[in-house]
Structure 1
Amino acid sequence: MKILMVTAEVAPFSKVGGLSQVVYFLAKSLAGGHEVRVFTPKYGIIKPKLPFREELHHIEVPTGYHGTKFAKSLTCNVLTTTFGRVKTYFLENQEYYELRSNVYDYSDDHIRFFLLSRGCLEWLIHQREKNSWQPDIIHLHDWHTAYLAEDIRKNGRYRRTFYRIPILLTVHNFHLQGKLNFQYLPENERDDGMIPFHHFFHEELVKQNPLLRGVLLADWVNTVSETYTQEILTREYGEGLEGVLLKYRGKLSGILNGIDVTEFNPRTDPVLEFNYSSYNPKIRKRNKAVLQKEFGLPVRPEIPVLAYAGRLSKQKGIGTLIEVLPHLLAEFDIQMVILGSGDLSYHKDLQLLAEKYPKKIGVHLFPDFKLPRKIFAGADLVVLPSIFEPGGIVAMEAMRYGAVPVVRKTG
């Protein structure tokens, strides 16, 4: 089968959260028996070690709806490279990708990711015109790519060419539905998905919910665990879409996330100073000392080391952790290491705790792609107090390295 995955991020090129890893691991696994292609933006932060080849030069991506008078287009290129048996295509645009220092959190994210979807379809049209590779199925990931579902189903330019291609939408987190927090809008102001998407620069485009439309128009929708699939049918977890999800539950399923155990392998991981396995677990203790030194803590093998590695956000429960940490540190002989970045108020609280308990807590408040593995290889417990957690990749990684995850019952 020929599978096209469209995603806002994919490891190792643009690695922000768990989405990038899941897409890469899944694509790599499926490539063992299928033809898999990944389509993603070429962000300015991507500094490839592998050679990129220009696949398509100066493709004009229309920014208006087919049949309207809005004729402005955006000029893009399509580059490609192969990593881990997976051929990846990159949509290049100076204004919306190349000149941005981050992947997310821009006021025009709705434009940037609409461009990704439509740029992908324009690339597919060029592919078809030269009788080149075409997908048997299109696999979309999260709201950033759900614009593509409506373009194929409702936009005449793409409908007549791609309508028969089935669309799978994987939702990794229903809390993220677009640039706006649609779930907090009054019901009479929420998008119902009936009016077609406006052109890229229309002031009302940001108010149109791409995730809702993806759910309505995809042939199948799946989430990253069976439990989360049941949770999103409730008001507590449905994020305002529970009514739609209940109506369309016949095309909804959950498939548990996974990790690449060949890549996450303490026996061969080059990041670790001391490699180990289940056959020689005593060696793991040496990584505990390495971790304590990394975070500026006294090397004490006899006490428990707790760890948190992830986004510093309300969803991840970091506020709860910060609330209980003073009691834990004052009353128990433990150490705590924290790696993450996010809400600056959490940064400040954690820095104050580190100053108050310099021998008990160490913090690294910046992104680091290698440090999590050192944490999982050296910590005794990994704390995951998430308010909700659709899939729980971090818990899987921690267990792979021999750390015990302490989690909230969710996801």
Structure 2
Amino acid sequence: MRILFVAAEASPLAKAGGMGVVTGSLSKVLRAMGHDVRIFLPYYGSLPKTLKVSSCPVWDGSAMFEKFSVYETVLPETDVPLYLFQHSCFDGPHIYGLENDDWRFTFFANGAAEFCWNHWKPQIIHCHDWHTGMIPVWMHQSPDIATVFTIHNLAYQGPSRARLEQITWCPWYMEGHNTMAAALRYADRVTTVSPTYAEQIKTPAYGENLEELLASIGDKVLGIINGIDPTSYDPSVDASLPQTYSSAELDHRKINKASLQKELGLQERPQAWLVSMVTRLVEQKGIDLVLQVLDRFLAYTDSQFVLLGTGDRYYETQLWQLAARYSGRMSVQLLYDDALSRRIYAGSDVALMPSRFEPCGISQLIAMRYGCVPIVRRTGGLVDTVAHYNPRHQTGTGYCFDRYEPLDLYTCLVRAWEGYHYEDSWQALQTRAMETDVSWEQSSLAYNRLYNSVSNLPLESIPQKNQATTSAKATLE
């Protein structure tokens, strides 16, 4: 089946959140199953110079009174064809955060639609988040091209209907007050990145003012849990770690912990409980809860805390000030660094995710893979991926709390800190976390059934594994 992923991110080239991990890893898995999966991505100025891209575009087009070019390459370390949408508006170093993001990504979506109509025609366009939300609207009258729209974060809904009418083509039949709402109405199927989040967004607490629309189209909304690439995130062979290890070699993690403490200027104490957060510094991620309890928790215990990420300037400032008060026990790294994030997962004892809401989350999956016990709030995909630890029956893979309240987070932290001091039970917990299946294996089968359903094929049919490679080579030649 010919499937085009259209997205603003694709790991490892452009990644700001979970979307990049999904498009980069899921496309590879689906292609291995036999689907002819390709990716359509903006040609960001930040893409590595080592990426081999043909000097000649494979196609030139125009949209919204602007000309653009499409170049072709392959997603690094895969056989997934990658189309790069080139225009000067994407020449800068940033993926998001520009004043004209609404225009840039609507233009990008329009260019992707033109590409599908005029150059390479997929059977399914898999759209990711509001950046591609107009594609299902435009494809509504193209019955030979189906659309699947994935919600990675409902809080970001794109430009309003009034703004869309100023900058692009809005068909006469279009309904919806913004890009996200229009995508939900016109996509053939809508997916979220976890089953729990698929149900939560139909309620006022999580629906971001779209709960009534989502409830009305509930028969076409499906939650499929995210996964990660277990070959990429593998502590037994990860070259970015000072010491590799497996679930049978947990003692080797102590070397990573000592190395991380030295690298980040923390006191080199092997018994100190090291708490980590690798996250965007936004309100969704529960940073306000952390700021309310962390000072007291560090004063009460001998723990250490490390944070890696960027985001809201207010949160950055507050964390910097707190780190200054706990010199040697707290490190705040305001940057994006994939290699450092892996060393943090491999060297810290727990990964903190007290999210206000969480469509799925990738950090807890990576943390478990590296034997870093997750501490999460029971919401969204965190419910579906982290089982609460029961010390009596020795079950579970992490610590969970329910209410979005400082006291609940503080209590959960104390319980985990106390559990850390029972070494045998703690190592058993780490082992269960590391051996949890966080791959795409089951989820890829769910996506296969979804694609078959929108193409009116038998739900369980799986294409021949050489079909995608053969068709791709024929098209590229």
Q: TM-score, normalised by structure 2?
A: 0.75
Q: Residue in 1 aligned with 2:118?
A: 126
1:174 matched to 2:154: yes
Cα distance per residue 1:63-97 (max 9 Å; x no partner): 1xxxxxxxxx2111111111211111010001x11
Aligned residue runs from structure 1 range 2-401, under 5 A = 2-32=2-32, 33-54=34-55, 56=57, 59-63=60-64, 73-83=65-75, 84-94=78-88, 96-98=89-91, 100-127=92-119, 133-153=120-140, 159=141, 162-179=142-159, 197-200=164-167, 208-401=177-370
State the one-letter code of the partner of 2:82.
T
Q: Secondary structure at the match of 2:136?
A: helix
* Cα pair distance change 1:385/1:287, threshold 3 Å: same
**Deviations 1:319-348 (Å, cap 9, x if unpaired)?**
110111110111111100111110111111
Q: Mark the runs of 5 or more structure 2 residues left unpaired by the alignment.
A: 170-175, 381-477
Paired residues of 1:197 and 1:208 also in contact (CA < 8 A): no
Relative contact order (C-alpha < 8 Å, sep 6+): which is higher?
A: 2
* Cα shift at 1:388: 0.5
Could you list the per-position Cα deviations for residues 131-157 of structure 1 after superposition, in whole angstroms to 9, with x for gaps in the alignment? xx421111000000011111222xxxx
Provide the aligned C-alpha RMSD in A. Answer: 1.9
Q: 1:55 to 1:147 in 2, by over 3 A?
A: farther
Q: Mind listing any 5+ residue stretches in structure 1 that lack a counterpart?
A: 64-72, 128-132, 154-158, 181-190
Match of 1:70 in 2: none
How far apart are 1:362 and its partner, in Å?
0.9
C-alpha distance in structure 2 between counterparts of 1:113 and 1:6, whole Å: 11
Measured after TM superposition, the shift of residue 279 of structure 1 is: 2.1
Question: Alignment length, in residue pairs?
Answer: 372
Q: Are the counterparts in 2 of residues 288 and 379 from structure 1 also a CA contact under 8 Å?
A: yes
- Which has more helix, going by share of residues? 2
For 1:179 and 1:135, the matched residues in 2 are separated by: 27
Contact 2:59 2:71 in 1 (8 A): no
Q: CA deviation at 1:239?
A: 0.4
Moved over 6 A (4+): none
What's the CA shift for 1:199?
4.5
C-alpha separation in 2, matches of 1:298 and 1:196: 53
1:324–1:166: structure 2 CA closer, same or farther, 3 Å change rule?
same
Amino acid corresponding to residue 151 of structure 1 in structure 2 = W
> Structure 2: which amino acid aligns with 1:22?
V
Q: Offset of 1:48 from its aligned partner?
A: 3.8
Q: Which amino acid aligns with 1:149?
A: P
> Which amino acid in 2 is paired with 1:125?
W
Deviation string for 1:361-402 (max 9, x for gaps)? 111011112111111101111111110011021100000000
- What SS does structure 1 have at the residue aligned with 2:356? coil
- Matched residue SS, 1:290: helix
Q: What's the secondary structure of 2:57's corresponding residue?
A: strand
Counterpart CA distance in 2 for 1:54 and 1:90 is: 12
**Structure 1's 251 and 196: CA in aligned 2 closer, same or farther, altered over 3 A?**
farther
Bigger shift: residues 102-111 or 382-391 = 102-111
Superposition deviation, residue 255 in structure 1: 0.3
Aligned partners of 1:351 and 1:38: how far apart in 2? 39
1:13–1:48 contact (8 Å) kept in structure 2: no
Query: Is 1:386–1:408's contact at 8 Å kept on the other side of the alignment?
Result: yes
Distance 1:357 1:87 in 2: 48
Contact kept? 2:159, 2:179, Cα under 8 Å: no
Task: Please state how far the C-alpha of 1:101 moved relative to its aligned partner.
Answer: 2.5
Query: How many percent identity over aligned positions?
Result: 38
Cα distance change, pair 297–135 in 1 and its aligned pair in 2 (3 A):
same
Offset, 1:58: 7.2
Residues 55 and 171 (structure 1 numbering): CA distance in 2 closer, same or farther, change over 3 Å?
Answer: farther
Task: Using the TM superposition, give the Cα deviation of residue 57 of structure 1 relative to its aligned residue in structure 2, in angstroms.
Answer: 6.4
Is the CA contact (8 Å cut-off) linking 1:177 and 1:210 kept in structure 2?
yes
- TM-score normalized with structure 1 length: 0.87
Q: Which residue of 1 aligns with 2:466?
A: none
Matches of 1:125 and 1:258 in 2, distance apart?
Answer: 31
The superposition leaves residues 13-51 of structure 1 with CA deviations (integer Å, 9 ceiling, x where unpaired) of 111111101111100111102111100101111124231
